[in-house]
Structure 1
Amino acid sequence: MFCFLSLCIVHFWAPTFKWGISIANLADSTKPPEKVSYPQQIAVTATGVIWSRYSTVITPKNWNLFSVNIVMAGTGIYQLSRKIQHDYFNKEEAAVVTKE
């Protein structure tokens, strides 16, 4: 009976559905870096970091919330690093553009 009741509360479903954001962010890693949005990825990263911390201080500890937010922060950091590398450290492409 307890297992059934735990599936009926928001404490379980909210972090479970949040996995969709992390999966979508992983799928976006196939997009070209110039199409990655700084504000969106900063929000994803900040949300992941903030809620990871929160999930460790609440009682009872919500490990599903913790794990989804660690993955969310990781995917956000990965996307931001792709975008920053493309915008600021892509010297080869900049050299080709200036030659044309």
Structure 2
Amino acid sequence: MASVFIKAANAKIRSNPWTDYFCSTHFWGPASNFTIPLAAIADTQKSPDLISGKMTCALIVYAFTFMRFSLAVIPPNRLLFGCHTINATAQSVQGYRFMDWHYWGGKEKKLLAEKEAAAKGQPVLVVKKVQNENHLEKK
């Protein structure tokens, strides 16, 4: 009896193109994947010393690989393509922030700005890890 009901419900869903798409993996795959770029976008507000360079590189490769995959499937999944385009962009921004912080002098620029602010009597926000490194250098 239950199988008759399930078959009838499935036939009803598949008869309407909108509900057919909404109930498919072509919709729910990208919808669930959107949590990755949303997390990357939210992470742009956090300190760059928290960024993992290896993970960011892996996520950039993942995003570009699945951008290609989303257009290779039949029919092409443009929602998945958009999801991974946003992800590739957000991860690239994170990759730039990582490189700037660790290799292009971002950490030193922040320390210099904080020292200048302290000299002027303004409130200073110091990253604990960097503060500990400076403390060890003074000894």
SS in 1 for 2:75: coil
Match of 2:84 in 1: 69
Structure 2 gap segments, 5+ residues each: 1-15, 113-133
After superposition, give the CA deviation of every residue in 1:51-90 in whole Å (9 maximum; x if it has no partner).
0011122210100011110111111111011000111111
Which has the higher Rg, Structure 1 or Structure 2?
2
- TM-score, scaled to structure 2: 0.64
Match of 1:90 in 2: 105
- Count of residues paired in the alignment: 99
Residue 80 of structure 1, aligned match among 95, 98, 114? 95
Match of 2:36 in 1: 21
CA distance in structure 1 between the aligned counterparts of 2:18 and 2:89, rounded to whole angstroms: 30
Letter in 2 for 1:44: L
Cα RMSD (Å): 2.1
Residue 57 of structure 2, aligned match among 34, 42, 45? 42
CA distance in structure 2 between the aligned counterparts of 1:91 and 1:13, rounded to whole angstroms: 39
CA distance in structure 1 between the aligned counterparts of 2:96 and 2:88, rounded to whole angstroms: 12
Counterparts in 2 of 1:35 and 1:91: CA distance versus 1, 3 Å: closer
- TM-score, scaled to structure 1: 0.87
- Between 1 and 2, higher relative CO (CA 8 Å, sep ≥ 6) is seen in 1
Match of 1:6 in 2: 21
Give 1:39 shift.
2.1
Moved over 6 A (4+): none
Match of 1:30 in 2: 45
Query: Which structure features the higher share of helix residues?
Result: 1
